[in-house]
Structure 1
Amino acid sequence: MTSHFLLGIDTGGTYTDAVLFSETAGVVAKAKALTTRHDLAVGISGAVEQVLQKADVPASAISLVSLSTTLATNALVEGQGGRAGLVMIGFGPEDLKRDGLQDALGSDPVIFLPGGHNVHGGETPLDMTALEEALPILAEQVSSFAIAGYFAVRNPAHEQRVRDRIREVSHLPVTCSHELSSKLGGPRRALTTLLNARLVSMIDRLIGSCEGFLKSRGIDVPMMVVRGDGALISAEEARLRPIETILSGPAASLVGARHLTGLDNAVVSDIGGTTTDVAVLDRGRPRLDAEGAVVGGFRTMVEAVAMRTYGLGGDSEVRINDRGLKAKIDLGPRRLMPLSLAAALHGEAVLSVLEKQLRAQHAGRNNGRLAVRTGLPDHLASGLQPQEQALYERIGASPISLENLLTSTPQRATLDRLVARGLVHICGLTPSDAMHVLGRQSQWCSEAARLGIELAARTRDGSGQPIAASAEAMAEMIVDRVTRQSSEVILQACLGEDGAGAIDPAVSQAVDRALRRAPGIVRFSLGLDRPLVGLGASAPVYYPAIADMLGTDAAIPNEADVANAVGAVVGQVRASVTVFVTMPEEGIFIVNGAGVSERFLDQDRAFSAARRRAETMALETARTSGADEPVSMLREEIDAPEVEGNRKLVEARFIAQASGRPRIAHG
């Protein structure tokens, strides 16, 4: 009999990682392939085929596949995602001003319908006239719908009726707010639902790509996806609730960091191509964000690790501010395709542009910048404005320099919109290119990296001098900036966890003196109280210097480059269900949540029904999410103050948590 192997896959913004894991031997083999955004299956198959080959194991030996991804997080950080229609039931236009909902909505359409419920589940009649009128046209303009009803967590009937009607007419994916959170706070629940709807097609493509590849290799086993709190859910559930996969990659990396280092207390920092994610391990468990995960500036209702995500990574845009007497370098938050990678993929088309720009007498504003299509299918480019369409048609599958592409200033904003839609990559100078010049990375085209760095070194500062004497000096300046900016974001995250978030390390003079170890009569120093675990493919080249700057030890596990994929396979399935009991009038008890409303005349019977309902639903949800033999725990929170000698029930909450390892295929 062949032993069981678990396959962990992590699809990041730049790389797709795969690990083959055995519960007895740990990581048996690992591999990486470039993430292919136009067809994710190419990157997935590249990594998986390599890992099977390295381990010399047949595909039939795999008994579980588990996937973690930063695609949802990156999409929200970069402002990408499909166009969604928002339906608000029982809310008015003024509610859009709360919780950042208006900003998140942008130019996406919104419909307000009379209806909704009260805190005890009683309804205001639903009127769907406005929806019926708008639906035929809207269905052509959006890729999904989001529905948020007033107090829908207490009674979801109106959301369900609207959902069924939209599906019937449009056949598009629809997300209801009650499916994502049991917390009150309509506008924030609407925001979470809107973001979920935008991500549906992206996560559906990812899971579909993965399933398609596995099927072609005859791997017919359960497939799991990592949730933002580090727990696992079945692929089917992730398709319905992709918002739960925001921070999936970082959560998996925390679970992986704990498994690989054995450390119970640590600061974990994971540097990827697009982002740096920082979180704290406390007594062996990731700290969770009680308020809900913040991604791309929006606070959602998704329970996720208390992970702070910053737009800083190996592929961050290098921005040179040459206005002062001394030029300053800043990184991010936008991700570019590194010049070294662009040349590895497109060769002469990139090199010839850079060589020509270097030969020119005067530096152009857009030197070292090119644009190329990402390769997304044509139907995802629907709904472009005429000027966007015209510019998009001029950008091909081979990179074109921005100096040839942009003929007027307004076109810059048009190009930015195409990038935000995920249709176009900007190729330009990044820390990855600097690492190629310094010989610390070598997987792509070092020649293009050097040309790009030489172009940047020619930039003149306010005193008219070139900002660096050589390509190497320029590359060192960029890498020093990575060390400093990374130290600042790690400090910012840790200060936030300590409740001292008002201190901004990027502007604090005291922090600046401590990090530079500036000499003086007063000497400042700072340090972390626990080791810094560095994760990510480039962790060994960046993190020793960062840990040194932060006055702590660096812990960089051997499998730092695939920690997410390891975390994807060693996690647990967890489900949490909350059932509420309220008393609208003396002697009447209403049970709401995890099913239809029930009415009781006796508090004890209402509480027993709520406990039973919460436990049953938590176990059922855990099984639906892919758990094998889940076990449950129940917690009760009863809010019943004494008023004039009588206890008066305001609300009782029964919270059941069920957890277990995922089901595996027994070959």
Structure 2
Amino acid sequence: MTDQLLLGIDTGGTYTDAVLYSETAGVVARAKALTTRYDLAVGISGAVEAVLEEAGAAISSIALVSLSTTLATNALVEGQGGRAGLVMVGFGPEDLKRDGLADALGNDPVLFLPGGHDVHGNERTLDMTALDEALPELSRTVSSFAVAGYFAVRNPAHEERVRERIRAVSQLPVTCSHELTSKLGGPRRALTTLLNARLVSMIDRLIGACEDYLDRRGIHVPMMVVRGDGALIAAAEARLRPIETILSGPAASLVGARHLTGLDDAVVSDIGGTTTDVAVLDGGRPKLDAEGAVVGGYRTMVEAVAMRTYGLGGDSEVRIGDRGLKASLDLGPRRFLPLSLASAQHPGAIVPVLERQLRSPHAGRHDGRFAVRTGVPERLASGLLAQEQALYERIGAVPLPLDGLLMSTLQRATLDRLVARGLVHICAITPSDALHVLGGQEQWDAEAARLGLELAARMKDGSGRPIADGAEGLARRIVDRLTRQSSDVILAACLADDGIGAAGPANALFVDHALHRLPGIVQFRVSLDRPLVGLGASAPVYYPDIAGMLGARSVIPEDAGVANAVGAVVGQVRAAVTVFVTMPEEGIFFVGGAGDSVRLTEEEAAFSLARERALSAALHAARANGADEPVVTLAEEVDAPEIEGRRKLIEARFTATASGRPRIASDA
């Protein structure tokens, strides 16, 4: 093949996908491999080698590599990530109560330092004594730091000084809030910075694994990463700002859906192993969330597609409520390792245990559940409590049944904390296992899936009857439940987009009647005004029924299973820079952003400098991110009301946006 090829890679929670794409011929080849958490390069190399073999393509034909991932999204949805130290400059403990910051912080350490700036960038006295005292010990218990300063977007000097002090002592990654956003709102900026710090090691490992593999194979071409708004950024920039890759995978899937279907208006739903992501295409463009992306219940300051992410997928935990007269069934939000997959990866470790448990006359509370290390580097297990460390040391690289591992309820809570840190997987029944029992999937160990579902089916409900009639009966209930929960989340996302989020399916009886076509004198029906595009490897299995329940036309493109990887290579580089002007006192104009702060005495001179700075910085950022011949536009917002007959400048914002297709190897 002589055509230049673009290599798209998507690393999800379960699968790593790869596509080879030609700008003249479209998708040339596609392949999948299991994502390998212990060494991400294994999954990446498996997918890329398979796609190269399918296409019969030479290494020399690859001109660009672009990566999308759901790992950051999944980590936040599941409450995972590294332990980060938060340093708040100029804030107090009461600020933790705002914007969910205290909940997000959890048990991670926080330090408060005097300092910060006022709204015009004037500094208060910075005192780093508490930091100097805490750093030696703190550096041994966290994997990264987040620094948020009061009005740091007006003047980042104190954040930068704190960052340099932390780096000098700890040599650990440090994220400053002014590097991520130019928006005001200190606690939410601190929250965004904290989440970024937790993700640094994860995204660094992913990009490093991809770069190492490409280097070994002699693929020396530009490498891009998909951002949460669907734009591409250089891999080096993504390493510094991994928070921008939250919703990377979903954004790539939306770009891919538009490209693969040609639809201008659609509801796009992408089901993966861990999450279902729902977004709306309007007029051929994805909607952006003006307030910032919401992931895992936290609203960040990251600009991203208006995508709603739910903890529902093929590998979701099956939660069985056996207290009522009839057992209830719910899926998610945690991801479990399917028994069928665990057995395929560890032959002999799963099936004999399940058979032993089935021979017992009584169901055990931990039947069908195992624990196994995820295989992440040991340094990410820093800061474990004594009981966590003891349990972690007993869990190995081969799944261990919980009925032999856990001896008390307290240990169960300890295990849950190890899972939340991303150090341990729970192996148990999932919708993927249900599909193996029903014949909808067959790539892993169907026998392990059947035994696991048989064990679960013999649980008793409140009336003393088994919760299902054998493995197949339970499998059908699980698949039906996934169909219903998927319909619920898609409908909830669409209602919220229409501005009527309070009428969600979970709390509106008439919506429930409509979804189930229940009989009655009054007939309710629900339908979407546009097609439902189903993406994901299991989309052909689930989405025809989901679309039927929602009264929508089902569209499942041929490459639905690798839409993310397609979206990764057809996107554009885009960089936006905002420079602002304020008037701290009459006749003095403060210019901040994209460089050192400047004070001028003429408004027009300040505005002219702000425009020049924004345009220059946006072009520079786009080129640094690999854009080829970027085009730049400028938007201006001037807030200057008349007060007592005199015009008073409150704030002027100048936002330049530069965009272009990524530079490929032949242009480099």
Relative to the length of structure 2, the TM-score reads 0.99
Match of 2:133 in 1: 133
- 1:466-485 pair list within 5 angstroms: 466-485=466-485
User: Which deviates more from structure 2 when the two are superposed, residues 27-36 or residues 414-423?
Assistant: 414-423
Show the counterpart of 1:159. Answer: 159
Alignment of 1:573 onto 2:585: no
What are the residue-to-residue correspondences of 1:229-240 with 2, within 5 Å?
229-240=229-240
**227-236 or 129-138, which deviates more:** 129-138
- Indicate whether 1:285 and 2:285 are aligned: yes
- CA displacement at 1:439 relative to structure 2: 0.5
Shift of 1:605: 1.1
Distance in 2 of aligned mates of 1:87 and 1:383: 18
Residue identity in the other structure for 2:219: I
Deviations 1:483-533 (A, max 9, x none): 100000001111111111111212321111001100110111111111100
Distance in 2, Cα, partners of 1:205 & 1:611 = 38
Aligned to 1:592: 592
Q: Secondary structure at the match of 1:192?
A: helix
Residues of 1 paired with 2:322 and 2:199: CA distance? 38
Query: Which secondary structure does the structure 1 equivalent of 2:181 belong to?
Result: coil
> What one-letter code is carried by the residue in structure 2 that aligns with 1:520?
G
Native 8 Å contact 2:117 2:123 kept in 1: yes
1:467 Cα shift? 2.1
How many Å apart are 1:154 and its aligned residue? 0.8
Q: How far does the alpha carbon of each residue in 1:558-615 deviate from its partner, in whole angstroms, 9 at most, with x for none?
A: 0000000000000000011111111112221111111111111111111111111111
Q: Deviations over 1:422-470 (max 9, x none)?
A: 1111100100011011111111001111111111221222222222223
Could you list the per-position Cα deviations for residues 43-88 of structure 1 after superposition, in whole angstroms to 9, with x for gaps in the alignment? 0000000000000011111110000000011111111111111111
Does the 8 Å CA contact 2:116/2:158 hold for their aligned counterparts? yes
Shift of 1:376: 1.7
1:256 Cα deviation (Å)?
A: 0.3
Q: Which residue of 1 aligns with 2:345?
A: 345
Q: Could you tell me how far apart the structure 1 residues matched to 2:469 and 2:581 are?
A: 71
56-65 vs 640-649, greater mean Cα deviation: 640-649
Q: How far did residue 258 of structure 1 move?
A: 0.3
Separation of aligned partners in 2, 1:600 and 1:393: 62
Q: In the TM superposition, what is the alpha-carbon distance from 1:321 to its structure 2 partner?
A: 1.1
Shift of 1:644: 2.5
* Structure 2 residue ranges without an equivalent (≥5): none
How many residues matched?
A: 667
Q: What CA distance in whole angstroms lies between the structure 2 residues aligned with 1:166 and 1:324?
A: 54
Write the distance in 2 (CA, Å) between the matches of 1:409 and 1:134: 34
The equivalent residue for 1:58 is 58
2:395 equivalent in structure 1: 395
Partner SS for 2:291: coil
In the alignment, what sits opposite 2:168? Answer: 168
1:436 is aligned to 436
Match of 1:418 in 2: 418
Q: Distance in 1 between the 2:406 and 2:110 partners?
A: 34
Q: What residue identity is the alignment partner of 1:573?
A: V
1:448 corresponding residue in structure 2: 448
CA–CA distance in structure 2, aligned partners of residues 155 and 359 of structure 1: 68
Moved more, 618-627 or 377-386: 377-386
Tell me which residue corresponds to 1:582.
Answer: 582
Aligned residue runs from structure 1 range 516-527, under 5 A: 516-527=516-527
2:464 is matched with: 464
Tell me the distance in 2 between the aligned counterparts of 1:626 and 1:182: 22
| Aligned match of 1:90 | 90
Asked if structure 1 preserves the Cα contact closer than 8 Å seen for 2:288 and 2:305, the reply is: yes
Tell me the residue number matched to 2:262. 262
Q: Retained in 1: the 8 A contact 2:143–2:382? A: no
- CA deviation after TM superposition for structure 1 residue 133, in Å: 1.4
SS state at 1:546 partner: helix
SS at match of 1:348: coil
SS at match of 2:350: helix
In the other structure, the counterpart of 2:490 is 490
CA distance in structure 1 between the partners assigned to 2:94 and 2:527 by the alignment: 46
CA distance in 2, matches of 1:388, 1:619: 49
Report the AA paired with residue 28 of structure 2.
Answer: V
Match of 1:661 in 2: 661
1:543 aligns to what?
Answer: 543
> Within 1, Cα distance between the matches of 2:630 and 2:561?
31
2:587 and 2:392 map into 1 onto residues whose CA distance is 66
Q: Aligned with 1:140: secondary structure?
A: coil
- Name the residue aligned to 1:383: 383
Deviations 1:297-336 (A, max 9, x none): 1111000111111010000011111211111111111110
Give the superposition deviation at 1:349: 1.2
Quote the offset at 1:97 in angstroms. 1.0
Instruction: Note if 1:49 corresponds to 2:23.
Output: no
Q: Which residue of 2 aligns with 1:331?
A: 331
Letter of the 2:596 counterpart:
V
Following superposition, the deviation at residue 379 of structure 1 comes to: 2.2
Instruction: Look up the SS of the partner of 1:66 in the other structure.
Output: strand
Alpha-carbon distance in structure 2 between the residues aligned to 1:178 and 1:656? 17
SS at match of 1:141: coil
Once residues 96 and 270 of structure 2 are traced to their aligned partners in structure 1, the CA distance between those partners, rounded to angstroms, is 35
Please name the residue that 2:507 is paired with.
507
CA drift at 1:377: 2.2
Give the equivalent residue in structure 2 for 1:199. Answer: 199
Cα offset for 1:643? 1.9
The equivalent of 2:552 in structure 1 is: 552
- Rate the CA distance shift 1:484–1:644 in 2: closer, same or farther, 3 A: same
Instruction: Give, as a single letter, the amino acid of the residue that structure 1 aligns with 2:354.
Output: L
**Letter in structure 1 aligned against 2:302:** V
- Quote the Cα distance in structure 1 between the aligned partners of 2:48 and 2:273: 20
Q: Distance in 2 between matches of 1:330 and 1:18?
A: 32
| 2:140–2:382 CA contact under 8 A, matched in 1 | no
Aligned to 2:114: 114
TM-fit CA distance, 1:359? 1.3
Structure 2 CA distance for aligned equivalents of residues 639 and 389 of structure 1: 55
- Mapped partners of 1:86, 1:385: distance in 2: 19
How far off its partner does 1:482 sit?
0.6
C-alpha distance in structure 2 between counterparts of 1:150 and 1:376, whole Å:
35
Q: Which amino acid in the other structure matches residue 99 of structure 2?
A: D
Q: Which moved more, 1:374-383 or 1:399-408?
A: 374-383
Q: Deviation of residue 93 (structure 1)?
A: 1.1
Hey, what's the Cα distance between the residues in 1 that align with 2:76 and 2:473?
35
Is residue 409 of structure 1 aligned with residue 409 of structure 2? yes
State the distance in 1 between where 2:148 and 2:84 align.
13
Amino acid at match of 1:309: T
The one-letter code of the counterpart of 1:652 is A
1:241 correspondence with 2:241: yes
SS state at 2:238 partner: helix
Secondary structure of 1:595's counterpart equals: coil
**Distance in 1 between residues matched to 2:362 and 2:82, nearest whole Å:** 41
Which secondary structure state, in structure 1, belongs to the residue aligned with residue 666 of structure 2? coil
Report deviation, 1:645: 2.3
Q: CA deviation at 1:553?
A: 0.4
Match status 1:368 vs 2:371? no
CA distance in 2: counterparts of 1:378 and 1:606, whole angstroms: 52
Letter in 2 for 1:303: E
Q: Which residue of 2 aligns with 1:187?
A: 187
Amino acid at match of 1:629: E
TM-score by length of 1: 0.99
Q: Which runs of 5+ in 1 are unaligned?
A: none
Q: Is the 8 A contact 2:140 2:383 kept in 1?
A: no
Secondary structure, aligned partner of 1:155: coil
Look up the SS of the partner of 2:313 in the other structure.
Answer: coil
My pick for the range that moved more, 575-584 or 32-41, is 575-584
SS of equivalent to 2:85:
strand
Q: Determine if contact 2:142/2:382 at 8 Å carries over to the other structure.
A: no
